[in-house]
Structure 1
């Protein structure tokens, strides 16, 4: 098979298209049937407020979860905080950047163990939960 002069350009175009939306972040697909948690830093009224939360579908703070897959909708409207979720002996380590304002979705599989979430620049903003 011979290659035409457009083959390298076509290969590059296909590579770029396969890498996502072009903003450096791969597009995440919501896990069908998985529960949704909401992660927030700041508040709607005051994005720079020193508040951080992880709540379930009923708006209740997460203190204990069953192991499994979860959708986590992250709202980080501030350039002074971030949301960092970690635990499960290193199996989970997701974070937003402390200078970026972002609304994003993480699909996370929680294994039994301890987990925490915090603002890296302000570690007094934190919470913990257990997965059973």
Structure 2
């Protein structure tokens, strides 16, 4: 009893193999599929961004502990700074130093400077 394999099986198998390779290449290059290390890196970035977003309002609250006159003067001074030095200004004032830390966090200072600049628009 000899089993005959139909002629169309060989092209179908090759088509499946080539299709699987093509889907894999397209999936990784289009970021539909990511490796474990890429997923971990993305998760770390997202969690860091979430922490900065959560802590920036504390920085603004520390700014608002000043008297209204000082707030106005500090906002005017912040507005006069060039856009790439505003985070340094916020850090120098100590507003980006979170309770329990000894030094300011540059990312929080940047986010805080952006939020404080929104206060100058009013």
TM-score, structure 2 length as denominator? Answer: 0.28
TM-score, structure 1 length as denominator? Answer: 0.27
- The structure with the largest helix share of the pair is 2
- The structure with the largest strand share of the pair is 1
Please say which structure displays the higher CA radius of gyration.
Answer: 2
